[in-house]
Chain A
Amino acid sequence: MPKLTKDEVHPKIIEALLGTDSDISVDDALENEMVLNMGPQHPATHGVLRVLLRLDGETVVASIPELGYLHRGYEKMAENMSYYEFIPHTDRLDYLSPMANNVAWVLAVEKLAGIEAPPRAQYIRMMIAELARIASHLVAIGSLAMDVGALTVFLWTLREREKILDIWDILCGARFTNSYTRIGGVANDAQPEALAKAKWFIDQFDENLDECERLINTNRIFIERLEGAGVISGNDAIEMGMTGPSLRGSGVAYDLRRNSPYLCYNDMDFNVVTYSEGDSLARYFVRADEARESAKIVRQVLDKMPQGEVLLNQPKKVLPHKTEIYTKMEELIYDFMIVNFGINPPEGDIYHAIEGSKGELGFYLVSKGEGHPWRCKIRSPSMVNLQSLPHLIKGRMVSDVVAIIGSIDPIMGEADK
């Protein structure tokens, strides 16, 4: 049994922690301050995030987040597999809204290859992306409430989320980590059963969300814990690169669905929710209101859904349908070529981003004309949002750290890639 030693913290990290912004200069660094390790395994750090806190009593003087406990090597793996093979991997990036990541990747590859999905596929993609956003925000609200102490809200929002997972189950067979989209469309058509269930869900969603919110919105403990915690101004947030609900909670109306529209968001009628205070309570309200706006979008999508096919008919770039591969010669040849050699987009590089539930999720793809990308960079919103964590918790108490991390809502699968 190896001997128990004190936690091995690399000297460089300690140097960075003790060197930041100390207006208290100490010879023996631990004389009146304490270094607390909020470790990778913690009930409230939303995954494997390690935060080293330098405390003076209960007040946080400085902090260093340490990532890398879930670094799975996505970018290196993407260089070794074709564009199609990477679709299941994108599911596991932001694993609370897996459909949205699929949509992001497929849109990026389609931009690189220069093709566009048919209208029905675009509407279906919009619907599933918005349902994914609702699912992610439900868990974010639930776990923020749970971190602050209200346990019931967590169970109620998870119950709502189970209904969305049921819809996905009928749609594509998997309730979670679906890999439903394909380059050139979606895998299979949306069954009328799935659409009917989506309609039923949206109709009862607003009241159920109201019910969950009624427990905490006017609750004195909840408001006092979150109000004024982790304030960041709009300019600082842009400077630190924050995007998503965290940025909109500071008053900046930056939403990629309006600023650089993709899919058919131009035809949809929805508001970009902003609150100007910039504290954790504002970020929570942004998420709750955004879930309602997404429900509005889904309702419009369900009303306006066009008929048609869901997979583009371009054999050199898009995998044809299974029924055709088994019966026709040309499709068989194309299937063989695409699966073995890849879709071979022309040489060049593109960047495409969508508004994920945490912020701007972008893919930077460099192609050298081969079937697999030469370089794939994933611009993950959670990692950039976490960068502002030391700025947000400076001067607050230890118990606020939990609430602030919950309001930023990082997902480590995305932050660590």
Chain B
Amino acid sequence: MNLKELVPQKLQEKFPKLSFEFVDYRGDLSVKLEKEHIVEVCRFLKEEPELEFRLCVDVTAIDWAKRKNRFTVVYHMFSLKHNFRLRLKADVDESECSIDSVTSVWKTADWHERETYDMFGITFNNHPDLRRMYMPEEFEYYPLRKDFPLMGIPGSLPLPKKD
């Protein structure tokens, strides 16, 4: 498809110093990059007149449960002009568990990043309002990490008393 060649070409033109990894699996194109440059790449993808990825579909994370680069933050975006979907991935290490927030590029990333913070514990720098999304604020753990058991930790969530 046209955009499948256009996107890598444009990205490499505009950011010649960055290293990208392009994977085409079952019709989906995904781009892997370093986490420091995520905001500029996203802004370029959104504002470039030939690409126009104006709809940010999803921001989420994967926990690989290995020592180095434990998390990968995944961004999905859609271009209404070309009907093309793109995926961006950035690795985040556990020791420095933070990445820049893309709320300055798309406003919809706000709640998605809050949910990722709630479930994984990855902090987003420059996020306007980083609170937990689903779990109560007093909850101390991050549920979707692989070391959190499915049944939860007894006593972590209080229950009202029966009388």
Q: Could you list which residues of chain A lie within 8 angstroms of chain B, going by C-beta atoms?
A: 1-2, 10, 12-13, 16, 67-68, 71, 73, 75-77, 80, 111-112, 114, 238-241, 243, 252, 254, 259-260, 348-351, 353, 360, 362, 364, 366, 374-375, 377, 379, 383-384, 387, 416-417
Contacts and interface: CB of A to CB of B under 8 A. Distances in A.
Contact of A238 (B54, B119, B150): B54
> Which secondary structure characterizes the binding site on chain A?
mixed
Nearest to B83: A259
A348 B28 CA distance: 11
A259 B111 CA distance: 25
A241 B102 CA distance: 13
Interface string B43-59: 00000000000111110
Nearest to B145: A76
A379 B62 contact: no
15 contacts: A10-B136, A76-B144, A76-B148, A76-B150, A111-B26, A238-B55, A239-B106, A241-B108, A348-B25, A348-B26, A349-B25, A350-B25, A350-B28, A353-B57, A384-B108
Q: What 6 A-B pairs are tightest by C-beta distance, nearest first?
A: A241-B108, A68-B134, A71-B134, A10-B137, A377-B60, A379-B58
Interface residues of B, number: 43
Contacts of B115: 383
B80 interface: yes
A260 B111 CA distance: 25
A384 B107 CA distance: 11
Contacts of B138: 10
Contacts of B161: 2
A362 B108 contact: no
Given A240-B107, A254-B80, A364-B58, 5 more contacts: A73-B143, A114-B26, A239-B106, A252-B80, A366-B62
A58 B83 CA distance: 43
B131 interface: yes
Contacts of A238: 54-55, 80
Given A12-B131, A16-B131, A383-B111, A68 B136 contact: yes
Contact of B57 (A80, A114, A241): A241
Contacts of B110: 387
B108 A76 contact: no
A263 to B, nearest CB: 16
A241 B56 CA distance: 6
B51 to A, nearest CB: 15
A67 B107 contact: no
